[in-house]
Amino acid sequence: MDRVTAMRVFADVAASGSFSASAERLEMSRAMVTRYVAEMEQWLGARLLQRTTRRVTLTDAGEQALRRCQQLLALVAEVEDEVATADGSLRGQLRLTSSMSFGHAHLAAAIAEFLAQHPQLKIDLNVGDATLNLVEARIDLAIRISSEPDPALIARPLAVCDSVLVASSGYLAAAGTPQTPAELAGHRCLGHSNVGRSSWRFQRGEQSETVNVATRFTANDATVLLHAALADGGISLQPTYLANPWLQRGELLAVLPAWQPPPMTIYALYPSRRHLSPAVRALLDFLVARFATLRW
């Protein structure tokens, strides 16, 4: 039995609470995951996981074994990193997470370019706005847009994220173009479920206004709201990294361009500076350099 792989499988099942989820994430069959866990239990002479119809949980012996496995796996990772650093190549697999809109608009192309430079490296990207425990989900790097990143994580700024109000010419022709932020209250507005759903803030010089808007259509992804705006669905508050190409082609129009929503920051988040692998460091440096030159 490959005990290192068995420990990795056991640790993943302990984190996910599901044999099926770990099988999908580790790209192996559920039967193989079950076999590795069974062999771990046979090797240690103890039941490590309690199986129920809903979830898999650790036994007392499993909790003790997990701590030791995590220590050994960290040591294995250090040895692998030292070998990789010695010959100048990056190996292994990195797990990333980001919002769907940013992953689609910019991160996918950045990852493709980075992987072209490091052919022995693999990257798995999880897109979505759900808050993940990076340690439990075994995420190496989270790309998040925020004004207040999680203080429990290390945050490295990648770029400023400006926003703009947009609408289609068809919608504005039918509903009129608002001239002040207060007039937005009388318009159909498209709200992001997780960011300023029905309360939008704006600044113009020293002036600041907050408007409560009517949002009959909300979604948890900016790309969905962008396409609703393109379909004459209303006014949407969009990140410029997503909206600018449509504005430049004239398919969307800027609304209240003199009033600016507060900017946010695109961060790379990770759990700890300790044991940061060369691959993660290299990817961080690559993303900082790449996004420093983009003006979206």
The model's pLDDT over 6-19, given as tens digits with 9 standing for 90+, comes to 998 999 899 888 89
For the segment 260-279, the average pLDDT, to the nearest whole number, is: 86
For the segment 234-254, the average pLDDT, to the nearest whole number, is: 96
pLDDT of residue 70: 87
Beta strand 163-167 with 235-239 is: antiparallel
pLDDT of residue 185: 94
Structural domains of the chain in order of their starting residue, each with its CATH number: 3-85 (1.10.10.10), 89-161+265-292 (3.40.190.10), 163-262 (3.40.190.10)
pLDDT of residue 147: 85
Q: How far apart are CA 194 and CA 182, in angstroms?
A: 22
Structure tokens at 156: 């490295």
Confidence of residue 82 (pLDDT cuts 50, 70, 90): low
Is a pLDDT exceeding 70 seen at residue 56? yes
Is a pLDDT exceeding 80 seen at residue 273? no
Average pLDDT, the chain: 90
Q: How far apart are CA 28 and CA 236, in angstroms?
A: 42
Is the CB of residue 10 less than 8 Å from the CB of residue 48? yes
Confidence of residue 104 (pLDDT cuts 50, 70, 90): very high
Taking CA atoms, 60 is separated from 13, 48, 63, 184, in Å, by 15, 8, 5, 57
Q: How far apart are CA 125 and CA 128, in angstroms?
A: 10
For the segment 254-276, the average pLDDT, to the nearest whole number, is: 89
Torsion of CA 76, 78, 83, 89, to 10 degrees: 110
Is a pLDDT exceeding 60 seen at residue 263? yes
Q: How far apart are CA 47 and CA 120, in angstroms?
A: 37
Is a pLDDT exceeding 90 seen at residue 210? yes
For the segment 198-209, the average pLDDT, to the nearest whole number, is: 93
pLDDT of residue 84: 57
Is the CB of residue 165 less than 8 Å from the CB of residue 236? yes
Is a pLDDT exceeding 70 seen at residue 257? yes
74 vs 35, which has greater pLDDT?
Answer: 35
For the segment 233-244, the average pLDDT, to the nearest whole number, is: 96
Is a pLDDT exceeding 70 seen at residue 86? no
C-alpha closest to that of 287 among 92, 79, 33, 111: 111
Confidence of residue 85 (pLDDT cuts 50, 70, 90): low
Is a pLDDT exceeding 90 seen at residue 133? no
Is a pLDDT exceeding 90 seen at residue 156? yes
